[in-house]
Amino acid sequence: MQLSVFKFQSDEEQMLNEIRTVEIDGEIWFVASDVAKTLGYKRPSEAVRQHCKEKGTVKDRIPTEGGDQEALLINEPNVYRLIIKSQLPAAEAFETWLFEEVVPSIRKKGFYGKIDRTQLPNFYLRYKDNLHKIDRNYFSVISELFVTLNAELDKVGYEIPDKGIKGQGMYPDISVGKIFSNYLKKTESPFEGLHKYYNHSFPDDRADVEARMYPIEVLPTFRKFVFEKWIPENAQNYFKERDPLALDYLPKLLGK
């Protein structure tokens, strides 16, 4: 199952509405509560019961901030039924956006927007391909980011894509690694200079590069740096240039 998240904002509203979809056996299904809330229904569950046909509904488990949870999904005809019964002025704009932009794009390209989010991220591939190179008493920046930054973003519904909006590779570990190295020097950390190197490989034609791995004792310092320095001070600029969608999710990592 491929979960996709889209953002809809009408001219009348400043708030972005999140629409989650999944593809099952080649058919696009929509999270019923997302559609109903976006269309202004005060009681989404009641609206679905009243206006949707049961034949076009299905329950399935989808990823959420609290882990996989069961959600009611509706098909396209049922989305139309909710649109028709909606009293929201922006209902027509929502219909145009969804069925003239989003759905045709998914059917034609397999995704909607400037970024193909169906591709397996190189971030994951590099984590997997390089993990065996790390000494058991050390950690690498990408191995730790995969289980901290990437996992935390995944919890709130965002996955680091394979490429950014201009086709550039998504390598947040390079940004974090360089800034962390300077951070250790700047703070005169006793851990500065204790790193070793390994040959970091990429899943494309890029040549291997020397990357740092740090002693396990540095891990608490690194995690504190990521969540107290890099995310609040550097992450916004990094993702803004590559994938602005991430900007909706970064505040959730800071508890905002």
**Based on the domain organization, do 10 and 34 belong to the same domain?**
yes
User: Can you give the pTM of this predicted structure?
Assistant: 0.64
Tens of pLDDT, residues 40-67: 999 999 999 999 999 999 998 887 766 6
Is the pLDDT at 79 greater than 70? The verdict is yes
Task: Examine residue 231 and state whether it is found in any structural domain, yes or no.
Answer: yes
Q: Do 60 and 170 fall within a single domain?
A: no
Average pLDDT over all residues of the chain: 88
User: Is residue 106 scored above 90 in pLDDT?
Assistant: no
137, 15: one domain: no
Q: Which of 88, 109, 130 is the last residue of a domain?
A: 109
If asked whether residues 168 and 89 sit together in one domain, one would say: no
Q: Is residue 115 part of a domain?
A: no
DSSP per residue over the chain, as a string? -EEEEEEE--SS--SPEEEEEEEETTEEEEEHHHHHHHTT-SSHHHHHHHHS-GGGEEEEEE--TTSSEEEEEE-HHHHHHHHHH---TTHHHHHHHIIIIIHHHHHHHSS-SSS-TTSPPHHHHHHHHHGGGS-TTEEEHHHHHHHTHHHHHHHTT----SB-TTS-B--HHHHHHHHHHHHHHHTT-TTTT--EEEEE--SSSPPPEEEEEEEGGGHHHHHHHIIIIIIIIIIHHHHHHH-GGGGGTHHHHTT-
Same domain for 102 and 136: no
> Looking at the structure, do residues 132 and 241 belong to the same domain, yes or no?
yes
Domain end among 82, 109, 136: 109
- Structural domain of 217: 122-253
